[in-house]
Structure 1
Amino acid sequence: MIRAALSFAAALLWASSASAMGPWQASDCHGETACALEDRSYHVMAPDGWDGVTPLPVLLHFHGWARTGVNAQRSDRVGASTRRRGVLLVTPNGRRKTWDFWSSGTEDVGFANRVLEDVAKRYPVDMQNIFVSGYSYGSAMAWRYVCESGNHVAALLGIAGAFPPGETCPEAPRQVRHVHGVSDTVMPFPNDAYGADTVPMGLWRARLDCGAGQGAGDWQVVDFLKLSRVEWRDCAGGQVVLDTHPGGHFIPHGWIGRQLDELLGLAPSYP
């Protein structure tokens, strides 16, 4: 897996360098027009006001069950957040509108790598700012992806979907940020062998060699939903952040936007 990741990183760097040699030209696939790749497809959406030259941070987002990449593009909680922040949104389409994240070795990890390689041939990519997110089943797929091919990833942004206890990961991103509703009955807030007060972050706390977490207070972007944050900043390998809310199974308003603002050093805004 390490050798595969190194090969992928080299391929992505080559593709990004190749695409950056000249001004970007409009692709034959963009927005709701899917890009074909082998026998599968993905969607890509550039941010508003992009000059066609500046390398773009990338958000690779895995859609929820029974959805497609178009749903994320249309969402004011996903697509609107990337468009306003200068981030290229890349949304692969899962086979039969779902993902195989249940065990290691899934073909969906390799497919996602090939998607990023293909994107980097079409767009100049900021290699230091590749983010991976997902919602529900897509969040569990995002976890699987960074677990097996995450050394090149700046941050995982998981939403309402996580691994059960017992998983180990050969790779990890530099940061892990996750949000989960404590009343979620679709993909419930999982048990965690590393401590009930810190679920579901035990896997990443152990993988990134984190010390004790600290409460970082409450925050909100809409009046009707308050999120509570715990942070693990004392980590040998990065940083871990967990946001929880009292609600159920959904993408909180403004959550992706807030994470991108913090990761990119932007002033917090909504959406």
Structure 2
Amino acid sequence: MLLRFLVMISLMCLAPASFAMGPATPACMDDVPCVLGDRSYHLKLPDDWDGTTPLPVMLHFHGWQRTGALPVKHQRISGATRRRGVLLLAPNGLRKTWDFWDSETEDVAFAAAVLEDAARRYPIDPERIYVSGYSFGSAMAWRFVCENGDGVAALLAVAGTLRQSEDCPQAPREVRHVHGLADTVMDFPVGPGGDETYPVALWRAHFGCMEGIAQGSWSAREFLTFERTTWECDGGRVSLDLHPSGHFIPHGWIARQLDELLGLPPSYP
């Protein structure tokens, strides 16, 4: 599905650009959802976009009992994307949740269709597609890249995973995950022998990673410190940020990941 999307984007890039005149289909953004069949999604354009430059994209899955209307207004989500030239896409889950428990889910195809629909409205950079989510939405982001991740630049996952025993047929080029050690909502998945790197064991195995490298502490805000471990692997790159608190989207975490991925100086917000 994503391969089809990337081919479509490549063909569109060969055609004369008409995006400077605005979307070819009726406008939808922020609180006004984009209708896609019997479902919908929200989007947020970056600040100061010139109307023609291809846009990096962050596809973000909302948390349980939320909708895509929240991420496009959330300071720690859209506050990060809109300042960094990134188009934010926020699909709406059926009954305000996601079906990520196994591979037999229609939500993967729906999310791929969201990317395709957004590409008809705006020019998208196919080399910079990021997939993100929070809580149940983070598990859904894992499921999406597990089933349809070839071509995704990075997974940016916040406080939610799949079972580490999953066998993923596809994968993004890079995985970045953050989790609180005191999380009791999507419980921190401690591994055998108290292994605190277990939240990314699936991807470490998938990519053939060797020993992790402790990168030390970092923080975007003085009240929350992360401990980062990274793995350079044969098939991709993995990083895990741990903090001592609970279940939330950490201030500045998404922003810092985008800064690093886009080659921008780290900043807040």
User: With structure 2 as the length reference, what TM-score do the two structures score?
Assistant: 0.95
Residue 247 of structure 1 pairs with residue 245 of structure 2: yes
By how many angstroms is 1:218 displaced? Answer: 0.4
Residue of structure 2 equivalent to 1:112? 111
Q: Name whichever of 159-168 and 20-29 sits farther off.
A: 20-29
What residue is the counterpart of 2:177 in the other structure?
178
CA contact (8 A) 2:164 2:200 kept: no
CA deviation after TM superposition for structure 1 residue 125, in Å: 0.3
Using a 3 Å threshold, how does the CA distance of structure 1 residues 239 and 45 change in structure 2: closer, same or farther?
same
Distance apart, 1:206 and its partner CA: 1.0
Provide the rounded CA distance (Å) in 2 between the counterparts of 1:62 and 1:5.
17
- Give, in whole Å, the separation in 1 of the partners of 2:210 and 2:193: 12
SS class of match (2:132) = strand
Q: Return 79-88 or 6-15, whichever deviates more.
A: 6-15
Q: Which residue does the alignment assign to 1:138?
A: 137
1:154 counterpart = 2:153: yes
* 1:24–1:186 CA distance, 2 compared to 1 (3 A): farther
Does the CA contact (< 8 Å) of 1:187 and 1:249 recur in 2? yes
Q: What CA deviation, in whole Å up to 9, does each residue of 1:116-138 have, x standing for no partner?
A: 00000000001100000000000
Letter in 2 for 1:25: G
Superposition pairs for residues 27-46 of structure 1, below 5 Å?
27-46=26-45
Partners of 1:24 and 1:64 in 2: how far apart? Answer: 34
Are 1:23 and 2:4 counterparts?
no
SS in 2 for 1:211: coil
Return 10-19 or 151-160, whichever deviates more: 10-19
Q: Give the Cα–Cα distance (whole angstroms) in 2 for the partners of residues 20 and 67 of structure 1.
A: 35
Q: Residue 231 of structure 1 contacts residue 240 of structure 1 at CA under 8 Å; is this kept in 2?
A: yes
Match of 2:224 in 1: 225
Aligned pairs for 1:55-74 within 5 A:
55-74=54-73
1:7 matched to 2:40? The reply is no
How many angstroms does 1:7 deviate by?
3.0
Asked if 1 retains the 8 angstrom alpha-carbon contact of 2:6 and 2:126, the reply is no
- For residues 172 and 211 of structure 1, the distance between their equivalents in structure 2, rounded to whole angstroms, comes to 18
In the superposition, relative to structure 1, how do residues 17 and 193 fare at CA in structure 2: closer, same or farther (>3 Å)?
farther
Task: Label 1:42 to 1:206 Cα distance change in 2 as closer, same or farther (>3 A).
Answer: same
The residue aligned with 1:101 is: 100
Where does the alignment leave 5 or more consecutive residues of structure 1 unmatched? none
Three-state SS of the structure 2 residue aligned to 1:243 is strand
TM-aligned CA deviation for residue 189 of structure 1: 1.0
1:199 positional shift: 1.6
Q: Separation in 2 of the partners of 1:211 and 1:174?
A: 17
Aligned to 2:123: 124
Amino acid corresponding to residue 219 of structure 2 in structure 1: Q
1:159–1:185 CA distance, 2 compared to 1 (3 A):
same
Is 1:237 aligned to residue 235 of structure 2? yes
* CA RMSD of superposed structures (Å): 1.7
Aligned identity (percent) is: 57
| Residue identity matched to 1:65 | W
Deviation at 1:11, TM superposition (A): 3.3
8 Å contact 1:146–1:156 — kept in the other structure?
Answer: yes
Contiguous gaps of at least 5 residues in structure 2:
none
**1:103: how far off?**
0.3
* C-alpha separation in 2, matches of 1:22 and 1:77: 28
Question: Residues 68-127 of structure 1: CA distance to partner in whole angstroms, max 9, x if unpaired?
Answer: 111111111001000100000000000010000000021000000000000000000011
Distance in 2 between residues matched to 1:194 and 1:42, nearest whole Å: 42
Matched residue type, 1:247: S
- Picking from 252, 260, 264, the partner of 1:262 is 260
Q: Which amino acid in 2 is paired with 1:10?
A: V
Structure 1 residue 15, shift from structure 2 partner: 4.9
Cα gap change, 1:45 to 1:17, in 2 (>3 Å): farther
Q: Which amino acid aligns with 2:3?
A: L
TM-score by length of 1: 0.94
**Change over 3 Å in CA distance of 1:15–1:201 after alignment to 2:** same
Equivalent AA in structure 1 for residue 96 of structure 2: K
